Structure 1
């Protein structure tokens, strides 16, 4: 009996130590010490008016999740958001675009905002840390300034895309991978002002080339 009690106690200690190790690992992963700071500014949050609607990457928005909207960072980028007013942090995944108020750099989901205690104030001074994402190989040159292009076509066959570009002077073909598939898209121009992109789209439409303005994602 005594041996059995000792064995049980030993097993409980192992479980306890293992649990502590998992806890520490989780905290370290979400700490600011080893993360790369990429942006400082004001954060806001969005909730009920958008809950259940589609986000910019095609997901259904869950206001109680821990996601966020950013103007330029590639979808699926993982950030650590630090509330500089109270030191609290939350890890979020970028799945939407915004905010569009000039003095804001990120829109947190309601669930994320609750974790850093900014529901009441509505906004907070924050610092963004990059945890997962590849900005070095991104086409983004300034994470504060979105860039746009006019998309004129999307093909699975590169030769079809190149055939279209031959008819549109100044257009280009770019290879894009999405949902495990490869597409060859025909783009025209690069713009930081969406209105300039819309004007160019209209000019191309008047010439008989159907297209639409889209933000360059990465």
Structure 2
């Protein structure tokens, strides 16, 4: 079984798989560009190696070793804040969106099952997914400890009125998930005037209301970007054009 790292509310806490074994140096990359992402969506490092959680599972297929984790973690928090249940069909993955269902195929024996990703890990070289005890038992991985697998991301699970199970795209990972916030105003008219200027120049600009310490603010955001790198590139362009640093926001 591998050691695991848990990301809860933007803070990484390491729980070692076996007593006496060394721990990992784990950090969340928390910057103005990532401040509005949920904790488990933010980039993080483990022993200096960076991991960037994916914003979409579309087309994700991976092959490598699967491992499993059981009673040492039973009853403890997972990366999305749930309590780990070793008898539930769940798994840990380093970068897939949490909540997404994954089909896991054991290449040694042909057995396959579907698990829900609710945790981060494994951080042992060569391993791509950490299965719960129940999932590992179904795939006959418990005995050997690891097995070569092929995993395919499916989406969020939906059960119809007839009991038929299908999978849908998570709403929060839809295209056009990012914008660059360039200003926050206490006067709505000033915010609307700035947004109109940006809309004329760049095509898309919106005003979002928020309350901070009892004060109403009107936040001006520009653009609709399908990926974090695209938003980061746009932010650099805005800086070069004299709009200040701004920061990236993710739409729910």
- What TM-score do the two structures reach when normalised by structure 2? 0.43
Higher strand share: 2
Higher helix share: 1
Flag the structure with more relative contact order, 1 or 2, with Cα contacts below 8 A and sequence separation at least 6. Answer: 1
